[in-house]
Amino acid sequence: MSKNSKVVEKESAVIKFVGDSGDGMQLTGSLFSDTAALFGNDLATFPDYPAEIRAPHNTIFGVSGFQVQIGSIKINSSGDFCDVLVAMNPASLKANLKWVKKNGIIIVDSDSFDKKALAKSGYEENPLENGSLDDYKVVKAPVSTIAKESLSGLSLSPKAALRSKNMVALGITGCLFNQDINSTYKFIEKKFKDKDTVIESNKKALAAGYDYARKNETFETTFFVPKADFPKGRYRNITGNVATAWGFLAAAERSGRELFLGSYPITPATEILIELAEHKSLGAKVFQAEDEIAGICSAIGASYTGALGITTTSGPGFSLKSEAIGLAVITELPLVIVNVQRAGPSTGMPTKSEQSDLMQALYGRNGECPVIVISASSPANCFYYAYEAAKLSIEHMTPAVLLTEGSLGNGSELFRIPSVEDLPEITPPIAKPNDPEYKPYARDPVTLARKWALPGTEGLRHRIGGLEKFNIEGNPTTDPLNHELMTKLREDKVKRVENYIPEQPIVGEDSGDLLVIGWGSTFGPINTAVKQLQSEGKKISHTHFHYIKPFPKNTGEILRNFKKILVCELNAGQLVKHLRIEHPEHQYLQYNKIQGLPFVVHELKEKFNEIL
Amino acid sequence: MSRIRVPLSEVKLTKEDFVSDQIVKWCPGCGGHAILKAVETAFPETGFRKENFAFISGIGCSSRFPYYINTYGIHGIHGRANSIASGVKIANTGLSVWITTGDGDSMAIGGNHFIHTIRRNIDVNILLFNNQIYGLTKGQYSPTTPKGQITRTSPYGTIEHPFNPAGLVMGAMGTFFARVLDSNVKMMTEVVRESAKHDGTAVVEILQNCIIFADKAFSYLTDKEQKDDFQIHLKHGEPMLFGKNNSKGIVLRDNRLQIIKVGENKQDDKNILIHDQYEPDPGIHRMLGFMRPPEMPRAFGVIRAARFDTYDHLMEDQIDNAKKRSAIKCVDDLLNSGETFEVN
């Protein structure tokens, strides 16, 4: 810090790093976040990147961004508007200026604002010089020059040296927030283990950026975000996709089942596959199949043998799996299908988040084909809902769909590390050898789950399959009344899951003028908006669904006590349709955003106020 | 060395141990009956425990098989038997996994899974019922229907080149390929037994007569007058001889397999190929798989049984090694690994 600079304490701050898709913005943002987390800030991150791996330089569509909100208070979203924008080139500034708070700080690489780059990004004049940024505090740092100079002793090519300019920008930002640079060093060392040159150049560039900010009195004011007041425990930063993978590993261990993942890479779900492939030491069997269908079918096969069968995908892959989900429904086997949703239809916008596969999860199959549908609402709670999906699927012998979203899967937040022993027990209904009572489709009278008879077990040889089966005996049949019975049994079995899930919670009073309903990733912004209006004295409450099929038993009761109900979704209105079917006695208003972007608090507040 | 881990039966099993209580609903005269008989006969001879067999199928006449044999089994969905079976075997390597599939199920809708299962060399057995027609949907052409054949969906004759399953197997570097006729129950029983013993994906192409929609598709091979000239039964380590009184032999000449008359030329006799089913290079096996009358006889028996690592064993090895080496022994270790911090 410069001697003259003043340190201002902030309870939260939103920082966004933007640049070309090859500029390393995801790494920069992650390192900043990890450093903040290690210090003890609460945080939530939101990576926003294009589908192209290395999009053309300095183009609006090629901009890659990483937003993080850090705080000394509970942070439940990556935030709407930035306090600090770090822009590596004109295009990324242009694309993100609208997200910067008035009087916010914009740090730019001034070296990148040459004529050619300005023209390519559609600027007629240099925004750093024409006064158009007068509403902001602009820091013009020669980031590229600093990078090159700091690495001059390393005999790197100029091109290679420039690769470290993101570290210069990180150094400047780290200084602005008084971060401990030594923690960042450690993360760099870990990330680039065994690549000594990369570690050295990144650390040098980081230090150079930090020094630049300090010595040049770049900032009159710097910020300090104190430690958050967390409940006691051990914490780590975790992304939703990693949390999902770990939730399954925990469920496998707790249930004594082997984990089998059959999956095919697809954005934005691939990280679950990558993460599970890492954990062979925990016995995870990961099968990268030739396609989505082979992925789910192999998982069904594994599940038949007694493994926890899982398949992970995103929207288009989920479509391909539909027929096989039906097979798992009629064979009444455990199976978890994860859909990390992205904007559709078809290929849609693979790297943009959306909540538009709910109808597909609930209804997208031939025949009467009920499955459990649950969803996570934050990166960290992906762990618990993955665990819960596995538990319900195993104990009720029926497939479960876990819906997450790209923004949850790639986003991260702090996760209070649980102990596996404290997680709820999972009791697989495994049939005993030579059980004289065993029949393939005999059911538990309470849950209606059939028994799981594992190949290799003495005295239980049986066949299951896609043909309709006689109840209890399990032989194929087209008997009319039996088909009706089996259809109802399968539906009822899923319905009875409501007896094994928690009641629907409500944030705020259990009656009032407006009930805001959400599901999935929108928890953070909705919760923040509702709480702000509550503090203004408005009679508004929030309920967020994690269990969608079946709904919690008290759902009807909650809905009854409000004058108006508003369902907010990042789609054209899917949960709202499902509510209209399941609880038709109410009027539902809806608020939808279909832009591949999360809700921002102010637009929600505006909408809520309009309705109130 | 074989690493098959299917536990052996403590008691001697018989055919009756595998007979199911279900009524077999194939057409009278269907080749399926003979295949079922061969499997029921061969299984006790494998010595495997009866609870450790699993039959997985897709859709089609062939795929009703799991109901007709008393083992564990899944009657799956169209084309996906190979994928389901892959999961079964990887998850439990102690099972002897069998796939019954047809030329629609595995050559058309499930063609992708067929080649990839073979490429990975997962230790499963694929009984490919090739009747060159779609039976269960009543007589449309399949990917193995001979070009020009008139069927319900090719009233002017098919204009498609058929697949030769042997070509797909060799192309995918398959490790086991055998071909049998459904009318030869003895050979079928032997081949099923060999297949069970093979460590890796074993494909058994069964030329199966569909009495309703493609009757006599293979009668040119079984016709009394020409069967000796049109069939060669390959046996490992034995010279490739066929014809009446083994009067003909197969030699490799000008980069092609050719027929010579035995006894006409001493040098030719010396050059008669000795069948080596274990040869890793699939070159000769591919040529044998593609031989067709009238120029050449059709090859039957075990054409290829090469020894390569299997997917399921390699995966288990990786898991065993990781368990030994990794510091992460349980999920609690994982949760607390890497960068964490404590709040007191």
Q: Are residues A284 and A323 in the same domain?
A: yes
Burial A378-414 (b: 16+ CB within 10 A, else e): bbbbbbbbbbbbbbbbbbbbbbbbbbbbbbbbbbbbb
Mean pLDDT, all residues of chain B: 96
Q: Are residues A267 and A305 in the same domain?
A: yes
pLDDT tens per residue across span B62-92: 999 999 999 999 999 999 999 999 999 999 9
CB contact under 8 Å between A458 and B92, yes or no, is: no
Quick one: pLDDT band at residue B245, thresholds 50, 70, 90?
very high
CB contact under 8 Å between A297 and B77, yes or no, is: yes
Smallest CA–CA distance from A333 into chain B, residue = B74
Angle between helices B185-197 and B32-46 (to 10 degrees): 50
CB contact under 8 Å between B73 and A465, yes or no, is: yes
Q: Are residues A188 and A269 in the same domain?
A: no
Chain B contact for A289, CB < 8 A?
Answer: yes
Smallest CA–CA distance from A38 into chain B, residue = B341
Chain B contact for A309, CB < 8 A?
Answer: yes
Contacts of B320 (CB under 8 A, 6+ apart): none
> What pLDDT is attached to residue B77?
97
A384 within a domain of the structure (yes/no): yes
B50, B52, B77 member nearest A327 (Cβ) = B77
Q: Are residues A253 and A185 in the same domain?
A: no
A582: containing domain: 512-611
CB contact under 8 Å between B319 and A287, yes or no, is: no
- pLDDT-wise least confident of A155-159, B54-58, B205-209: A155-159
Residues 25-64 of A with CB under 8 A from B: 34, 37-38, 40
Q: Are residues A179 and A263 in the same domain?
A: no
Indicate the residue among A170, A194, A224 that finishes a domain.
Answer: A224
Question: DSSP character for A405?
Answer: E
> What pLDDT is attached to residue A1?
45
Domain CATH number, residue A583: 3.40.50.920
A28 within a domain of the structure (yes/no): yes
Distance from CA of A457 to the nearest CA of B (A): 6
> What pLDDT is attached to residue B309?
96
Planar angle of CA A378, A381, A386, nearest 5 degrees: 120
Q: Are residues A135 and A24 in the same domain?
A: yes
Residues 402-421 of A with CB under 8 A from B: 417-421
Distance from CA of A252 to the nearest CA of B (A): 10
Q: Cβ(A163)–Cβ(A202) under 8 Å?
A: no
B50, B334, B340 member nearest A282 (Cβ) = B334
For tokens 């939103």, the residue is A14
Q: Are residues A374 and A250 in the same domain?
A: yes
Q: Are residues A297 and A191 in the same domain?
A: no
pTM of the full structure: 0.95
pLDDT tens per residue across span A229-267: 889 999 999 999 999 999 999 999 999 999 999 999 999
CB contact under 8 Å between B88 and A331, yes or no, is: no
A305, A418, A464 member nearest B91 (Cβ) = A305
Distance from CA of B312 to the nearest CA of A (A): 10
A427 within a domain of the structure (yes/no): no
> What pLDDT is attached to residue A2?
47
A456 within a domain of the structure (yes/no): no
A163 within a domain of the structure (yes/no): yes
Q: Are residues A11 and A98 in the same domain?
A: yes
Domain CATH number, residue A81: 3.40.920.10
Is the pLDDT at B1 greater than 70, yes or no? Answer: no
Structure tokens at A296: 């789910």
Which residues of chain A have a CB within 8 Å of the CB of B22?
475
Distance from CA of B55 to the nearest CA of A (A): 9
Q: Are residues A152 and A248 in the same domain?
A: no
Chain B contact for A193, CB < 8 A?
Answer: no
Domain CATH number, residue A373: 3.40.50.970
Residue B118: which region, alpha, beta or left (left: phi > 0; alpha: psi -120 to 50)?
alpha
Dist. CA A209–CA A222, nearest whole Å:
15
Counting as low any pLDDT under 70, the low residues of chain A are 1-4, 217-218
pLDDT tens per residue across span A481-497: 999 999 999 999 999 99
Interface test with B, best of A186, A290, A387 (most B CBs within 10 A): A290
Residues 437-456 of A with CB under 8 A from B: 454-456
Nearest CA to B297 out of B306, B284, B288, B308 is that of B288
A474 within a domain of the structure (yes/no): no
CB contact under 8 Å between A455 and B85, yes or no, is: no
Chain B contact for A256, CB < 8 A?
Answer: no
Between A and B, how many CB-CB pairs are < 8 A?
210
> What pLDDT is attached to residue B2?
72
> What pLDDT is attached to residue A4?
59
CB contact under 8 Å between B91 and A460, yes or no, is: no
N- to C-terminal Cα separation, chain B: 57
Phi, psi torsion values for A137, nearest 5 degrees: -95, 110
Smallest CA–CA distance from A310 into chain B, residue = B87
User: What is the predicted ipTM?
Assistant: 0.97
> What pLDDT is attached to residue B4?
84
Which residues of chain A have a CB within 8 Å of the CB of B56?
301
Indicate the residue among A407, A422, A437 that finishes a domain.
Answer: A422
A487 within a domain of the structure (yes/no): no
Q: Are residues A161 and A268 in the same domain?
A: no
Residues 563-592 of A with CB under 8 A from B: none
Indicate the residue among A370, A398, A422 that finishes a domain.
Answer: A422
A24 within a domain of the structure (yes/no): yes
Smallest CA–CA distance from B89 into chain A, residue = A302
Which residues of chain A have a CB within 8 Å of the CB of B51?
455-461
A297, A455, A456 member nearest B80 (Cβ) = A297
Is the pLDDT at B298 greater than 80, yes or no? Answer: yes
CB contact under 8 Å between A294 and B86, yes or no, is: yes
A283, A456, A465 member nearest B319 (Cβ) = A283
Distance from CA of A133 to the nearest CA of B (A): 39
List of domains in chain B: 15-217 (3.40.50.970)
A399 forms beta bridges with A335
Chain B contact for A423, CB < 8 A?
Answer: no
What secondary structure does DSSP assign to B209-253, as a single string?
Answer: --TTTSTTTTHHHH-TTTHHHHEEEE-TTSB-EESGGG-EEEEEE
Mean pLDDT, all residues of chain A: 95
In total, how many domains does chain A have?
Answer: 3
CB contact under 8 Å between A457 and B336, yes or no, is: no
Q: Cβ(B94)–Cβ(B121) under 8 Å?
A: no
Q: Are residues A254 and A139 in the same domain?
A: no
